[in-house]
């Protein structure tokens, strides 16, 4: 052990030693390895999603704000972490955890992450990331090719070019979306005559120079909230993100989009970007990207596609056609930490035009010098880890064909789940899966019959109670800890566009079986019976 048992007092000697490799194998590390594999086996075998300890109880373990004055033995502290932290964590890799986009990881990720952390390369500049920078540029090239399918010469020319970048690696979809709109903003309000560009002079002078009364970003009502954050930090304002209604399939209504573009243009409000969603966070649907590209062309604005969730579908030759039109986007966001099974911290934004990142270029004297190949001159973030290595490794180890199988089986599983929901007389499928996401709710068959014929008043009353029942079931199921589905609130056409609470399921874990899905439905049907107020009142209304 680095800090010896002799004394746990801070001494320079023992402090230096924690930066060297222990001579004898550190038993503490063994404990961690053992814990990890035991935990994984346990999670997988028992389908346990989380302990039932309430959050307020767990908070008591993390209550003090005092920084420890005295050092601890690594072994002691490890045990502390295992007890207080690991034991109470959510088992996102459990095959019965089907509520969120955070899923299981392939086993090889763990040792490779250790390698990544051990090397501690900083991708901001080549001086701290030789080899990692070319690797990251190659990964950006692969992802660019996945979307835009240019020829070998194109990648030969641009992939490693100093003043270009095929995209930016970042911590996630949020930063990717911000980066995309940042580039769009700076290109739209570029230097012109004696105006030195928005990057230098800011929004007020940009609007004055270009003579606009405002800017807008247009996205469907299913757009991710990160776009509002982007508008906020870019000085555009959250209210300038205009949501366009969706059709009954949760896809943007292009007629209304075009009408809004026309109206804004007449009001002298410049459209900064139209954003297509390829795999909405709540329902997994894909906007009609080709039609949106036409509209963006007509209004000469940036076309961004937020494919944070759905982008990996491009790896499946059987389903990539769902994304037709994505190749016309000026920029695309993809999260490798979603359907590419890489751990969190792996977001990407890819630019069609390798020169567009010049709009956000920054230089500093001690790093990021002009003409260097430092990736940091084109990223929002500064110091960045070598996450690209995990994407690189996964693309090699799993390969496109492997990803195709993973994507295809997730979609097949979502269809299976949709089928058994449809067949069950007491469940109602709310949104059909297009990718591996779907929403549904528990509605006893008598209540379904009532809803089908009821007037709007009764419908709203029933739906109000059903919302409460859905919430009740979802919370109970989470507390029981055997399985987990999430919940969200979406407008449902069938119910006059009223916001309706639904179960939301993401079927990305390859180890989730049909039996598990059957069990989850059965558990929900049982939990519904435990509701002492909502279910009886619903049944009474229906009788």
Ligand X SMILES: *Cc1c(COP(=O)(O)O)cnc(C)c1O
Contacts with ligand X, residue ranges (CB under 6 A): 172-174, 177, 224, 226, 277, 281, 306, 308-309, 335, 347
Residue number, 275 or 485, with CB nearest to ligand X: 275
d(CA 243, CA 250) in angstroms, rounded, equals 13
Residue number, 508 or 521, with CB nearest to ligand X: 508
Residue number, 174 or 509, with CB nearest to ligand X: 174
The region that residue 277 occupies, defined by phi over 0 for left and psi between -120 and 50 for alpha, beta otherwise, is beta
Cβ of residue 223: shortest distance to ligand X, in angstroms?
8
d(CA 460, CA 462) in angstroms, rounded, equals 5
Cβ of residue 336: shortest distance to ligand X, in angstroms?
10
Spatial CB neighbours of 210, under 8 Å, sequence gap ≥ 6:
189, 192, 270
d(CA 419, CA 438) in angstroms, rounded, equals 11
Segment holding 347, helix H or strand E = strand 347-351
Residue number, 91 or 222, with CB nearest to ligand X: 222
Cβ of residue 101: shortest distance to ligand X, in angstroms?
6
- Return the closest-CA partner of residue 84 out of 67, 59, 66: 59
Q: Which two tokens stand for residue 20?
A: 């060297």
- 219, 277 Cβ separation under 8 angstroms: yes
Residue nearest to ligand X (CB): 173
Alpha helices in 150-253 (DSSP H): 152-158, 173-188, 198-210, 226-233
d(CA 103, CA 94) in angstroms, rounded, equals 8
d(CA 360, CA 201) in angstroms, rounded, equals 14
Cβ of residue 100: shortest distance to ligand X, in angstroms?
10
Cβ of residue 229: shortest distance to ligand X, in angstroms?
9
Cβ of residue 80: shortest distance to ligand X, in angstroms?
30
Cβ of residue 281: shortest distance to ligand X, in angstroms?
4
Segment holding 115, helix H or strand E = helix 109-119
Residue number, 94 or 220, with CB nearest to ligand X: 220
Residue number, 226 or 531, with CB nearest to ligand X: 226
Residue number, 391 or 450, with CB nearest to ligand X: 391
């Amino acid at each position: 052990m680095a800090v010896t048992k002799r004394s746990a007092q801070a001494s320079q000697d023992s402090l230096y030693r924690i930066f060297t490799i222990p001579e004898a194998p550190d038993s503490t590390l063994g404990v961690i390895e053992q814990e990890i594999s035991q935990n994984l086996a346990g999670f997988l075998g028992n389908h346990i999603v989380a302990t039932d300890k309430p959050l307020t109880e767990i908070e008591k373990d993390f209550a003090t704000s005092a920084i420890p004055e005295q050092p601890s033995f690594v072994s002691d502290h490890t045990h502390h972490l295992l007890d207080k932290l690991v034991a109470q964590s959510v088992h996102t890799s459990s095959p019965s955890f089907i509520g969120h986009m955070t899923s299981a990881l392939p086993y090889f990720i763990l040792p490779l992450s250790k390698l990544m952390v051990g090397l501690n390369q900083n991708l901001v500049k080549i001086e701290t990331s030789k080899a990692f920078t070319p690797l990251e540029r190659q990964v950006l090239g692969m992802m660019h090719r996945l979307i835009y399918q240019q020829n070998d010469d194109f990648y030969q020319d641009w992939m490693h070019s100093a003043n270009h970048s095929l995209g930016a690696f970042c911590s996630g979809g949020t930063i990717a979306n911000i980066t995309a709109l940042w580039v769009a903003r700076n290109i739209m309000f570029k230097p012109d005559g004696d105006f030195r560009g928005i990057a230098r002079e800011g929004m007020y002078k940009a609007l004055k120079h270009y003579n606009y009364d405002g800017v807008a970003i247009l996205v469907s009502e299913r757009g991710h909230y990160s776009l509002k954050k982007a508008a906020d930090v870019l000085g555009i304002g959250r209210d300038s993100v205009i949501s366009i209604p969706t059709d009954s399939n949760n896809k943007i209504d292009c007629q209304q989009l075009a009408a809004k573009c026309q109206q804004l243009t007449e009001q002298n409000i410049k459209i900064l970007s139209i954003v297509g969603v390829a795999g909405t966070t709540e329902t997994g649907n894909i906007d009609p990207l080709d039609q949106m590209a036409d509209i963006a062309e007509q209004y000469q604005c940036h076309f961004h596609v937020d494919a944070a969730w759905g982008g990996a579908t491009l790896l499946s030759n059987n389903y990539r056609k769902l994304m037709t039109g994505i190749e016309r986007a000026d920029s695309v966001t993809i999260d490798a930490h979603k359907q590419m099974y890489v751990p969190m911290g792996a977001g990407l934004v890819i630019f069609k035009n390798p020169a567009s990142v010049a709009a956000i270029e920054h230089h500093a004297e001690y790093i990021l010098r002009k003409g260097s190949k430092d990736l940091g001159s084109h990223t929002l973030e500064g110091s960045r880890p070598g996450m690209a290595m995990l994407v690189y490794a996964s693309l090699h180890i799993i390969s496109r064909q492997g990803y195709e199988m993973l994507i295809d089986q997730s979609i097949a599983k979502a269809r299976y789940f949709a089928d058994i929901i449809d067949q069950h007389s007491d469940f109602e499928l709310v949104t059909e899966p297009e990718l591996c996401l779907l929403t549904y709710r528990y509605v006893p068959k008598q209540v379904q019959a009532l809803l089908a014929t009821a007037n709007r008043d009764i419908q709203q009353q029933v739906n109000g109670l059903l919302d409460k029942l859905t919430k009740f079931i979802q919370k109970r199921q989470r507390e029981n800890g055997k399985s987990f589905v999430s919940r969200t609130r979406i407008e449902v056409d069938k119910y006059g566009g009223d916001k309706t609470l639904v179960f939301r399921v993401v079927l990305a874990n390859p180890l989730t079986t049909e039996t598990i899905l059957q069990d989850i439905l059965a558990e929900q049907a049982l939990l519904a019976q435990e509701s002492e107020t909502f279910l009886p009142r619903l049944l009474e209304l229906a009788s």
